[in-house]
Amino acid sequence: MHVPDGFIDAPVSAAAGVVAAAAVAVSLRGARRELAATGPGAGTGAERTAPLAGLVAAFIFAVQMLNFPVAAGTSGHLLGGALAAILVGPYTGVLCVSVVLLMQGVLFADGGLTALGVNISDMAVITTAVAYAVFRLLVRVLPRTRRSVAVASFTAALLSVPAAAVCFTAFYALGGTTDVALGKVFTAMVGVHVLIGLGEAVITALTVGAVLAVRPDLVYGARGLTRPLELRTSPLAADDAPAAAPAAPAPAPAAPRRSPRRLWLAGLAAALVCAGGLSYYASSSPDGLEKVAHDKGLDTRTEEHATADSPLADYSVKDIANRRLAGGLAGVIGVAATLAAGTGVFVVLRRRKAAADTPAPAADTPAEQH
Amino acid sequence: MGAGHAHKLYRDGRSPVHALPAHCKIAAVFCFVLVVVATPRTAAWAFALYAGLLAAVAAAARVPAGFLLKRLLIEVPFVAFAVLMPFVAEGPRTHLLGLDLSVSGLWGAWNVLAKGTLGVAASVLLAATTELRQLLLGLERLRIPPLLVQIASFMIRYGDVLTDELRRMRIARLSRGFEARGVRHWGVLAKSAGALFIRSYERGERVHLAMVSRGYTGTMPLTDTATATRTHWTRAAALPLAALAVCLLGWIL
């Protein structure tokens, strides 16, 4: 996605250059903080920034050469924005990807010199910022396990690549030099980049997992997740010195268990609000697929859906006149039905699992309770 | 720096272009590309003149045409995009060789191709006539923050080291009978990428300690104080000024 010269006109390129310069200046300051040593005798971090950020930039540069075969001879490679944000922090990530882009532009003529601002804004700044925001949010919401870090990095990388495509489309809308309709550019860019994002997401999650398995302390995004080492003494020793145990600093309580009930209730409330209240404001025009089908005359032969005259057809309740009430009620009923079906499946599955587990020793059952 | 450190894009030589200070050249190339981008796309002859100017610079720098053309291949992905443009753009349409093409799409494709190619050619000439270290020093003299330049220089210095490390890992995988054929093998490749990250981060820590033990405090000492004279600037400015004249003509005519 390296934008060449001449694709975006001069004023917008200049504006993007200013934005990119400001972002790089901010991240130069932030990177010092992120790379500061955490151990005893840590300095301000200013003198650690250059070698560490430089090596991380070299890492991104090298890892872009690692080819991941997809199928039938095609292969893709990592873009690295999300990976850098999660591994070394957002500011250092922006900085490293920007340096890689700068060097690619100046040395390898990959991406135009005047388009450098556009390239840095969408590929370094937006990718990294979106990835890190999504990652932090998910890590905060999900339980504190290694698996949820993997899930969070997957989602972060998945969203970061189309976000860059959206940003590129915005630049195109402001200063594109060609006449391709905005909608087409948007669809093509976002469509292609959702696919690229899928690959990026899988690779990023696997790579973060690999680093996390060996050096969890190096993963910036997972810094709060490592538990402090716990001192365990044998029961005999504990009997000998019962007074010593309370005197020892109480280990930080393990990550508070979030009860699934609260999550479940919050999700239910959100779904009901969306379905009941917000659905009134949703567009009543046909969605993309329906519209394309209509425009191209594809839908002339489609038959009406079998449930088209059901009481809930087209997302509104049949015999209620008020549109707002009808739509909202249909939404609420839909949520309830979906929930009932989902819960039913879940309950059946759990029962079956519990039945299979009954011969297991009773000591296992507490773990099953939540 | 010895020959081992010269990057592959650089062509050693003794020409007036090689002799110019790096920051003059960077500024000249940047202004040239800016002028090219600002040229109206209907002035096709202006782009021919720009190409002529670049050819003159290449001749002065004794960069062979084959070298230049081979390096232009980096543009190919965007050529594919440009070829697609006449088919998808809006506006009045024309028939050419039995194909239904959009007029504005054709102009757009021409615009991107011409300006993109000229930009790539200019940067290729810059990289071919300027040593890497000089290029970085030139960036620093152009008031790019020194920290950024240091990061870039570390990236360039260790880029080859890490690429080699990646190559060794690949050979190790191959010699154990592993061959990545599809999505199922991504796990192994991702583990390599993770290992590479850990190795490069730890190498960074070692490099930092080695530098601190030699008295590094966060800034690099500036060893050479070669400054550009007025003659250098005038020579370097010849290219963008000529381009500017062409561009103004393009707007007037």
Per-residue model confidence as pLDDT tens digits over B26-45: 999 989 988 888 888 888 88
The chain B residue lying nearest A37, using CA atoms, is B205
Q: Does any CB of chain A come closer than 8 Å to the CB of residue B71?
A: yes
Query: Is the CB of A180 less than 8 angstroms away from the CB of B151?
Result: no
B161 and B41 fall within a common domain: no
- Say if B217 falls within a structural domain: no
B40 and B151 fall within a common domain: no
B26 and B122 fall within a common domain: yes
Query: In Å, how far are A286, A291, A300 from A295, measured between CA atoms?
Result: 11, 6, 10
B50 vs B37: CA distance, rounded Å? 11
- Say if B1 falls within a structural domain: no
B56 and B87 fall within a common domain: yes
Chain A residue numbers touching B183 (CB-CB < 8 A): 69-71, 202
Query: Is the CB of A69 less than 8 angstroms away from the CB of B182?
Result: yes
Q: Output the pLDDT for position A120.
A: 92
Report the gap between the CA of A8 and the closest CA in chain B (Å). Answer: 9
pTM over 0.80: no
**Torsion over CA: A231, A235, A237, A239 (sign):** positive
B83 and B30 fall within a common domain: yes
B105 and B168 fall within a common domain: no
**B57 Cβ contact list (under 8 Å, min separation 6):** B17, B125, B239
Q: Output the pLDDT for position A247.
A: 46
Query: Is the CB of B123 less than 8 angstroms away from the CB of A211?
Result: no
- Say if B62 falls within a structural domain: yes
B110 and B27 fall within a common domain: yes
Lowest average pLDDT, out of A50-54, B97-101, B209-213, goes to B97-101
The count of domains in chain B is: 2
Range(s) of the domain holding residue B20: 6-139+227-252
Q: Does any CB of chain B come closer than 8 Å to the CB of residue A160?
A: no
B85 and B166 fall within a common domain: no
B41-66 pLDDT per residue, tens: 888 888 899 999 999 999 988 888 88
B120 and B161 fall within a common domain: no
Q: Which residue has the higher pLDDT, B129 or B77?
A: B129
Strands A67-71 and B93-96: unpaired
As a three-state string, the secondary structure of A115-177 is: CHHHHHHHHHHHHHHHHHHHHHHHHHHCCCCHHHHHHHHHHHHHHHHHHHHHHHHHHHHHHEC
Q: Output the pLDDT for position A362.
A: 44
CB atoms within 10 A of CB A105: 23
Report the gap between the CA of B118 and the closest CA in chain A (Å). Answer: 8
- State both tokens at B49: 């003149």
Domains of chain A: 10-37+45-225 (1.10.1760.20), 256-368 (no CATH)
Q: Output the pLDDT for position A368.
A: 44
B173 and B107 fall within a common domain: no
- Say if B222 falls within a structural domain: no
B178 and B62 fall within a common domain: no
Query: Is the CB of A214 less than 8 angstroms away from the CB of B192?
Result: no
- Say if B198 falls within a structural domain: yes
- Alpha carbon A235 to chain centroid distance? 45
- Say if B218 falls within a structural domain: no
Q: Output the pLDDT for position A298.
A: 52
| Rounded average pLDDT per 10-residue block, chain A, 370 residues | 80 90 90 68 64 89 81 72 90 91 83 86 91 91 84 92 90 79 82 86 90 86 72 69 47 49 69 61 51 53 53 58 63 71 70 62 44
Q: Output the pLDDT for position A97.
A: 92
B132 and B24 fall within a common domain: yes
B98 pLDDT band, cuts 50/70/90, is low
